[in-house]
Structure 1
Amino acid sequence: MRFLKYIFYLLLILIIGVSIYIATLDGSYNIKQSKVIKAPIEVVFNVVNDFRSWQNWGTWFEIDSTIVASFPKVTSGVGASYSWSGAGSNGSIKTLSLIPNKEIIQQIDFGTGSTSEVYWLFNNSNNGTKITWGMKGKSNFMEKLHWLTQGGIEKNMTPIYNRGLALLNNYILKELEKHAIEIKGVVYFGGGYYLYQTTSSKINDFEFKMKKMLTKILNYMKNNNINASGKPFTITHKWDEENQTTMFSTCVPIKERIITTEDILTGFLKPQKTFKTILKGDYKFSFEAWQATFKAINEQGFVKKQDGEPFEVYTVGPRENVNPSKWITEIYVPIK
């Protein structure tokens, strides 16, 4: 009996000693990891800002397949939140503050009785967006005991954050690749006046040249108080696949004919019968859309006008939306 009493006292002293040790440990932590994602900063920010997207890349959904997410009406911006529950974990998170395209501050509750601050930092990088995902706070006694037995909070959480950023990167890049081609068929294009510049270039330089010319035309219009009457477009005069060259005009529609004094000219697009296709997505898929257009023209028994010059209208582009998957390009081919 006396032996058992000594064992009891020894265990009690050990428990008290361990408890004192744990209580005196600094429970503060600040875990963070960074990654460069090859996407515009606005796109990366918008994905992280919307909690509904988290189920597509959140690491915990990969770790625990039983987790079910619950979303309220507001899932993005200040005050947004969502919660989750599963066999292995449950919790909730809400957005406390944000600076668009720079920072998001959130509060997360893992159901342990204490909360942590989750923070996101966004910075432009030469290759895209550098994103930093971090979490900081202070562990309570039971949390310190748990992490002590697991080798430390940083050791356990760092791989989860790295995996989460990798999944986020894959999700965003996959979203940017989404595109659709819709064959609309025969439409009558109304035509009208437009300001334009014409140039010849290598096909690979087409997009660069077009943007440069468009900027010059828009600046001219701004300086001369000229309003556009529609979306910018380009007219293809020549397209030489063999030599990889093209000749085209970059245009902005206007309501009436204007006498210009610089190298920006006024043209007129005649009303005409055309075959229309809509590309929804990055302009890099335009060649695919043009191929689909000419294939549909042949299959439906139409014939391209010999002297007709195809053109494409940029209904939604980078000036309206930085996300390439949201761009809309309308393709028109004059037909007989």
Structure 2
Amino acid sequence: MLKFFLYAGLVLVLLVVALLALASRKPDHFRVERSVLVDASPERIYPLVEDFRLWLRWSPYETRDPEMARIYSGAEKGAGAVYEWDGDRSIGSGSMEILEAEAPSRLVIALHFRAPMQADHTAIFTFVPEGNATRVTWAMEGKSGLIARVFHLFFDMDKMVGADFETGLAGLKAEAERELAQ
């Protein structure tokens, strides 16, 4: 019986070492990015992103937990605007702060997740005119420590977060184009 436990322990140690070796070969930085073409000018779309209160109209994260607590502080919009949330397990808790606001072309947001896991990332929105429309890109990037890289062996961050970005950009497009139609 002792031999069995020794072999099982050895196999377990080898599996952990192999897992860590695989994870260490993954990039230490990630980027998730999605874009959409919106039939509106950057000047019409930009305000929907630079004011965290307006995210209620289009962000997919705003509808996951109807009881989510929200706190807005700092500037009303643009650089210095801060948004904190505390929700159930599906949304977690954290904060966002707009670091750079280059109206109407770019916003850079510091993301700080506290739960269900701690992480610090950067979100970047860009608004590039294309004829009478605007190419809106929503990206998130950050460093991937060893634990995150192990996580990425089993879960595809691009697919998980990318799907949310696609939903959010579709909502942003609908909101900007609806305002234009009015």
Deviation for aligned residue 1:59:
1.2
**Equivalent residue of 1:71, what SS?**
strand
- Please, what TM-score do these two structures have when normalized by structure 2? 0.87
- CA gap of 1:109–1:19, structure 2 versus 1, over 3 A, is same
Equivalent residue for 1:39? Answer: 40
Rounded to whole Å, the distance in 1 between the matches of 2:152 and 2:71 is 28
The 1-side partners of 2:70 and 2:151 are apart by: 25
Contact 1:114 1:140 survives alignment (8 Å): no
Residues 181-230 of structure 1: per-residue CA shift (max 9 Å, x gap): xxxxxxxxxxxxxxxxxxxxxxxxxxxxxxxxxxxxxxxxxxxxxxxxxx
Q: Is the 8 A contact 1:36 1:127 kept in 2?
A: no
Structure 1 residue 66, shift from structure 2 partner: 4.0
* 1:156 counterpart residue number: 160
On the 8 A contact 2:30/2:143 being kept in 1, the answer is yes
Name the SS for the 2:63 alignment partner.
Answer: helix
- Name stretches of at least 5 consecutive residues in structure 1 with no aligned partner: 179-336
* Greater Rg by CA: 1
Displacement of 1:73 after TM fit?
A: 4.6
Deviations 1:86-109 (A, max 9, x none): 112111111111221111111111
Q: For residues 172 and 180 of structure 2, what CA distance do their matches in structure 1 show?
A: 12
Q: 2:96 aligns with which of 85, 93, 106?
A: 93
Aligned equivalents of 2:71 and 2:180: distance in 1? Answer: 26
For residues 35 and 110 of structure 1, the distance between their equivalents in structure 2, rounded to whole angstroms, comes to 26
Q: Distance in 2 between matches of 1:73 and 1:18?
A: 43
What displacement does 1:120 show?
A: 1.1
CA distance in 1 between partners of 2:39 and 2:8 (Å): 62
1:51 offset after TM fit, Å? 0.9
Give the equivalent residue in structure 1 for 2:112: 109
Aligned pairs for 1:1-336 (under 5 A) are 1-88=2-89, 89-111=92-114, 112-150=117-155, 152-178=156-182
Compute the displacement of 1:177 (Å).
4.5
CA distance in 2, matches of 1:132, 1:30: 12
Query: CA–CA distance in 2 between the matches of 1:142 and 1:63?
Result: 26
RMSD: 1.8
Pick the structure with more helix per residue. Answer: 2
Following superposition, the deviation at residue 167 of structure 1 comes to 0.7
- The structure whose RCO (Cα within 8 Å, separation 6+) is larger is 2
Contact 1:31 1:154 in 2 (8 A): yes
- Checking the alignment, whether the CA contact within 8 Å between 2:72 and 2:81 is kept in structure 1 is no
Paired position in structure 2 for 1:206: none
**Percent identity over paired residues:** 23
Matched pairs, number = 177
For residues 65 and 139 of structure 1, the distance between their equivalents in structure 2, rounded to whole angstroms, comes to: 31
Report Cα offsets for 1:145-185 as digits up to 9, x if no partner.
Answer: 223222x111211111111000111222333455xxxxxxx
1:49 partner amino acid:
E
- Which letter does structure 2 place at the counterpart of 1:83? E
Distance in 2 (CA, whole Å) between partners of 1:106 and 1:128 is: 24
| TM-score (norm: length of structure 1) | 0.49
Q: Per the alignment, do residues 173 and 68 of structure 1 end up closer, same or farther by CA in structure 2, a change over 3 Å counting?
A: farther
SS at match of 2:31: strand
